[in-house]
Structure formats: C-alpha cells, structure tokens
Amino acid sequence: MPTALITGATAGLGAAFARRLAAESCSLVLVARDEARLAETAGQLKLRYGVSVEVLPADLTTEEGLAAVESRVREGVDVLVNNAGFGNRGHFPEVPVADEVRMLRLHCEAVLRLTLAALPGMRERDRGAIVNVASAAAFFTRGTYSASKAWVVNFSESAANEVGNPRIKIMALCPGFVRTEFHQRADMDTSGIPGFLWLKADDVVREGLRDLALGKRVSVPDPRYKAIVAVGRLVPRGLQRYVSSRIGR
C-alpha cells in the first residue's frame, strides 16, 4: 500500500487530497499545526476509508517542525503533497518583514527541503510523485505571495527536468480561487471576486491528480483558469498588474 504525506492536511486542498488519496487506498501521513484537528481528521478518514493514518503535528515555519517532517519523509513516502501555505494580512510593503520571511520559509524552503528529502527514496524505488501546490497567482504580479508561488512553479519544473525520470513525477498545481479557509485566515475581502471564479477543492484535486498521472509538470485546473493564465501571458505587463490589483490577491 503506497504512503502519501500531505502538509496542511486538515482543511481546504490538503483535506481534499487526504480524502482522494485515502479513497485510492493510500496510507496517509497528515501534517498540520493543530494536533486536536489532526486527530479528528485522522479518525474520520480511518472510519470512512479503512486506511492507516499517521499524524505529525508540526509548524513548518520553524526549524524544529520542518526538521521533524523532513525526517519522516526520509523514512519513505510514495506521494508527497506540499500543500501548506498562507497569505499575509495587508499589502507589500506594509507587511512586517518577519511575516514575509515566515511565508517564504513555508512556501519555498519547506517545499525545497521536503522535495529533497523525498527524492532519494523515490529514485531508489524508481517511482514516486511530488505535488507542490502553487497558485494561478504565480503567473501574475501581486506581492510576496504570487512571487513565492512563481518560485514553486519554476522549482517544480526545474526539479522534474533535473531528475529526468518519467516514473518520478514532480508537478506544480496552480488553482485559482478555491472555497477554503485560506482567505478568512488572511483576513482578505473576497466580495469583489465574481462567483464564477470560485472552484471546489475536490474538483481541483481530481483534475490535479489526473494531470499528474498524465505526466504534466504544471497543472492549472479548470478551463476558466487555463484561459485566464493563457491570456495573462499575452497581455502587456502593465495591464496584467492593473487587473491583478483589481481582482485581489
């Protein structure tokens, strides 16, 4: 039975990945900061899907937490989902530098280190999969969040190219606006976002895992966002910045 480790596993896309992979008979290792919520999530998954679920409470923005998860990944996982992430309250450059560095540590350093921890075992077994959750924001310009997610996309493509093994799949997942706790936690006003732009977490995960199976290195779920990203690459940067600032982070 394959083992999947998922960070940020108790809500949103992380919880959707856990449900989907459990339904595919994967043993799970769930990582999040809230120990009580982890235990509750694990109990629900065990009851519904009958799979083994291990919980690992850890804050990936701390050296202690990141090192603990790194160590568990080195023990061997078949699927790694780097999903944990957050958005800062406020706009650059008003956000405190400590908060910006914390975001970069989670979005970039944690993704880098956990990917590197997973790869030796995957190369030895000649198989494996790594999904790094980025965002459609990676293709636009909107503060440190979009910059960090652009790094995730570039890193995932570069890592897949350097590994050069089609049996070890590395992919950046780039969803648009998803109905999760993300925006509430960041205290973001989403009232200006049109209803048709919202996606369901389960749909994003289903399409993302389909693209992973097809060997894609970047997945933009949903035709609406495929079109938005494609157009965004063609329009002048000035117009792109204006639209990005109007729609929101």
d(CA 105, CA 148): 10
Do the Cβ atoms of 182 and 86 come closer than 8 Å? Answer: yes
Distance CA 10, CA 31 (A): 8
Does residue 145 carry a catalytic annotation?
yes
Give the H/E segment covering residue 85.
none
What distance in Å separates the CA atoms of residue 59 and residue 53, rounded to the nearest whole number?
19
Give me the catalytic one of 49, 145, 225, 242. 145
Please tell me whether the peptide bond between 93 and the residue prior to it is cis, using omega within 30 degrees of 0: yes
Indicate the SS3 state at residue 200: coil
> What secondary structure does DSSP assign to 14-62, as a single string?
HHHHHHHHHHTT-EEEEEES-HHHHHHHHHHHHHHH---EEEEE--TTS
Which residue type occupies 151?
W
The catalytic site residues sit at 145
